[in-house]
């Protein structure tokens, strides 16, 4: 890690922000804090191991194509409901970071989902909002309300990114990658664990 003459970390000029799942990698390239190329790559395979191999191959190709990347920031794995999903996601993220290392990228940052979401003003749905949603859509299942709330928050992220960066993004994974990158370019020391 490079440091300034005062000892703080030097923020890389070119950062690739990644939102990965077991099925895809959404990416957003930031150059000198400006949002550039964005996109999404889907993984193929009949099981997680084939998808991990495909993730490594495709992400290595991505990093080779955009060879100016100095650092990567990724939304780190959090345990939600399924230990299997968390383990599978960790395998995919390992493949992505391994591919980055093979491509000469050796600076990595991470952020939890709630940290970057809070940063862009997309906090958890409040109790008042939950009550309003239930009043507008009475008699639905708990699962239906959770899905509605999750989709509402995804739409908020899309709206934030499209407004801040004058984009017309419609894919919520790509918008999440942009949100991760937006947080990282403004909090690089936290992304690499130097600032608390």
What's the confidence (pLDDT) of residue 85? 84
Which uninterrupted H or E stretch holds 10?
none
pLDDT, tens digit, 9 for 90 and up, residues 116-160: 999 999 999 999 999 999 999 999 999 999 999 999 999 999 999
Domains and CATH numbers, the chain: 14-122+170-191 (3.30.420.10)
Is the confidence at residue 76, as pLDDT, over 90? no
Which is more confident, 96 or 82?
Answer: 96
Q: What is the pLDDT of residue 6?
A: 47
What is the per-residue DSSP string for 111-173?
Answer: E-HHHHHHHTT-PPPPHHHHHHHHHHSTT--HHHHHHHHHHHHHHHHHHHHHHHHT-----HH
Q: Residue 12 — very low, low, confident or very high, per pLDDT cuts 50/70/90? A: very high
What is the model's pTM? 0.90
pLDDT at 91 over 70: yes
Lowest mean per-residue pLDDT among 43-57, 78-92, 169-183: 78-92
């Amino acid at each position: 890690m490079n440091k300034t003459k005062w000892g703080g970390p030097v923020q890389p000029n070119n950062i690739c922000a990644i939102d990965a799942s077991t099925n895809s990698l959404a990416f957003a390239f930031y150059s000198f804090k400006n949002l550039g190329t964005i996109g999404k790559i889907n993984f193929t395979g009949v099981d997680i191991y084939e998808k991990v191999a495909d993730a490594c191959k495709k992400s290595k190709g991505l990093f080779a194509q955009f060879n100016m990347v100095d650092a990567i920031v990724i939304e780190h794995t959090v345990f939600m409901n399924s230990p299997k999903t968390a383990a599978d996601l960790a395998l995919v993220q390992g493949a992505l970071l391994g591919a980055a290392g093979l491509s000469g990228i050796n600076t990595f940052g991470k952020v939890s989902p709630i940290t970057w979401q809070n940063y862009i003003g997309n906090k958890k749905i409040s109790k008042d909002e939950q009550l309003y949603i239930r009043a507008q859509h009475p008699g639905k299942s708990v699962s239906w309300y959770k899905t509605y709330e999750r989709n509402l928050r995804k739409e908020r992220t899309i709206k934030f990114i499209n407004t801040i960066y004058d984009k017309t993004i419609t894919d919520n994974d790509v918008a999440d990658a942009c949100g991760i990158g937006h947080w990282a370019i403004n909090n690089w020391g936290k992304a690499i664990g130097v600032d608390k």
